[in-house]
Structure 1
Amino acid sequence: ASYDDDKNLGIAANVAYDIVPGLTITAEVDYLHAGKFDDADFSNWTNADKKNSVGGLLRFQRSF
């Protein structure tokens, strides 16, 4: 979790699960609240067009 003086809030949560020895699946969910989204000088590295954004990923990792 992160928060700053511009009222930006970021939260990430993930879970890793070993399906079998050597194969791990990780799921992650991310949330972003852009505090000063409506300001004229607002810069957003995510290129999101809304004040609140949700994203995620699914990772498959194989170890040999």
Structure 2
Amino acid sequence: MKANVGTLDRGLRIAAGLILIGLSLSGVIGLWGWIGVVPLATGLFSFCPAYSLLGLNTCRNRPH
């Protein structure tokens, strides 16, 4: 698994995931807020399977 999620992308994913989970836990949104686990995990691991399938890479240090 090579990292394919860059720094800015990673930060946004982690923030979005935590916000969705927090809103779900506080009852502002329903159980669907737990979908925030997906961007949180992809941000923490710096790897997105969808990016691999689409050939995308937002990492600054791309292999040559």
Q: Tell me, yes or no, whether TM beats 0.5.
A: no
Relative to total residues, which structure has the larger helix share, 1 or 2? 2
Relative to total residues, which structure has the larger strand share, 1 or 2? 1
Q: TM-score, normalised by structure 1?
A: 0.25
Q: Higher relative CO (CA 8 A, sep ≥ 6), structure 1 or 2?
A: 2
Q: TM-score, normalised by structure 2?
A: 0.25
